[in-house]
Amino acid sequence: MTRIPEEDRDILEKAIYLPMVLTVLNKDLHLIDQSPFKLKRPYMELIEETMKVIQQELTGIKREMRVRSMKVERIQTDDAFTMYMFLYKGYEEHHNYFNPRLRNRVEDLLRYYLYQRFLKTDYDKSIKA
C-alpha cells in the first residue's frame, strides 16, 4: 500500500518519464543531423523547441518535488523491470515498472509533445494527469 497521494505520485512519475523523453529526442536530433535529409533544419528546430518545452516542465517538476520533500531515484534495472525508490516526506517506497510500460509511456509523451499538445482534445487532459 502506497502512502503517496495520486497527485504526488504523478509528479514523481513525470520526474522519471520526462528525462527519458529528452534522451530520446536528443538521440533523434543527432540522427537527423547525421542523416542525408535535404532540409534538416525544420526537423531539428521542431525537436529543439520540443526539448525546451520539456526542459521547462521538468524544471517545474523538480521545483515542486523540492517544495513537497519528494525525490525519485532509479535503483535497479533488469530485462523486464526497472525499480525506482520514491522518497516522500520521510517515507521510502520501492516501485517496479515494467520496461515495456516505460517505453510505451515515453512514446505517448513523445507523441503528445511533438504534435498533440497543439491539438485541443480530451487527450490533453489525460496526458497531463
CA-closest candidate to residue 110, choices 35, 22, 43? 22
Residue 108's alpha-carbon distances to 101, 118, 124, 128, in angstroms, are: 10, 15, 11, 11
Instruction: Tell me the CA end-to-end span of the chain in Å, nearest whole number.
Output: 21
pLDDT digits (tens), the chain, 129 positions: 678 999 999 999 999 999 999 999 999 999 999 999 899 999 999 999 999 999 999 999 999 999 999 999 999 999 999 999 999 999 999 999 999 999 999 999 999 999 999 886 655 555 555
Phi first, then psi: what are they for 20, rounded to 5°? Answer: -65, -40
Residue given cell 512519475 in the structure block: 13
Question: What type of residue is 42?
Answer: P
C-alpha grid cell, residue 99:
520496461
